[in-house]
A and B are shown apart, each in its own frame.
Chain A
Amino acid sequence: MTVNAIRKATVGQNGVGAFVLQCKRLDFYYCDWAGSSKGMNSFLKNSLSRFAAANPSIEMTVSPRPRKHPVIIGHYINGRHKAICVRNLEKEQILKKAELLRDASGEKLKRVTKPVKSINESVRGVWSPFHHPSGTGMRV
């Protein structure tokens, strides 16, 4: 008899039925005075309206953070947040960073070594030391 894992009624697979964007809020912080915010200020003036209009499900806040480098902070529905410092970046580079935060899942970064990843249960079941096809399994 094989050991079966506890069966689940459904398995959450974002994007199979519907896709829910994991990023719920993006905070843009800038400084009026500092030169490292030059690109950020330009981004907010010129590119933010288009970016915000293209992503209506993400709340965006813009607020000054005097005497600090510019930062974009993404908040995710898993409760985590990610911050990227965009000091001295051009507005195009900042847009790339904003898109990166938008597309992120909010999970911690992990090294991906295998090309395929599946959450489906294996048809062979979980390997057990007591059941070997040759009959040489561990005797209890």
Chain B
Amino acid sequence: MTRDMTRSGEPLLRIDDVHVHYGRVIAVNGVDLTVSRGETLGLVGESGSGKSTLAMAILRLITPPGRIVSGRIHLNGVDILSTGGRQLRQLRWTDVSLIPQGSMNSLNPVMRIGDQIQDAIEAHDRRQTKDSLRQRVLSLLDMVRLPARVYGMYPHELSGGMKQRVCIAMAIALGPSLIIADEPTSALDVVVQKTVAETLLKVKEELNSSMILVGHDMALQAQLVDRIAVMYAGNIVEVAPVAELFSNPVHAYTRHLIASVPSITERKPLVVKEFQRPDLTTARPKPELREVSPGHLVALDDEHSDRRTSGEASEREEVIPRG
């Protein structure tokens, strides 16, 4: 059964029933998801929900003891999981690129910034003169508002925000159809987060690439994405257009996520909810998704959203979707 959630035609990315295991831990438990051309999808969830694992699976960057057990990932009609070797290498970065987590040392400490961006370009496009390559890198740096001198600098000479913008420049170098941004603003301070987010927004508008924005910063998601998929314990529990999700969250976990966003104008009481996550090491059924309104799907038989669940019925009654 396919759940085509795109508005028109074949989606750019289609993920069908992907399972990823880390040793005995079932990190991704049969996820279906699509991303259409030009769309920005937010992938949110708490740490350990499998959102980063899913993102890495799209890039085929799951390393042992992790492995993709089953499923299909089609990007531009190519099944990524059945490729390998040279074909996979060519597909990476030309079709799908990565903006790594802001907290990581994703840049090689002993290579100049310019060389690191260049080798990504060169690996896929060899017919380049040294000079045009340099020009290309400089214009990329300019695009993310970095000065040209960054070209000859080493990562340790840059601030965290600058490094992250270098990563953005690198990710857009080949104009990929899909960019995966894995918590791009995590561990950056608030002001820097803002510039990085602005850079992302600018790049997104200029490029018309699709993007998957992984993270749990709901405010950032609200600004950047078109549609949000909420992950919980290895499954997608709710998918909806961003406005719909914020105005009408159905799944208890989604509501919890949205309620966690602090507001200054309106002091809400602090909501503390503890969800008992299922044991991730035992096989569990993948929840069925039910469409509650056009393009808005919610996990059906999950204890946290289903009104039929016994106990606490009155509390739950109150938050049943109006739509």
Q: Are A and B subunits of one complex?
A: no
Binding site for A on B (CB under 8 A): none
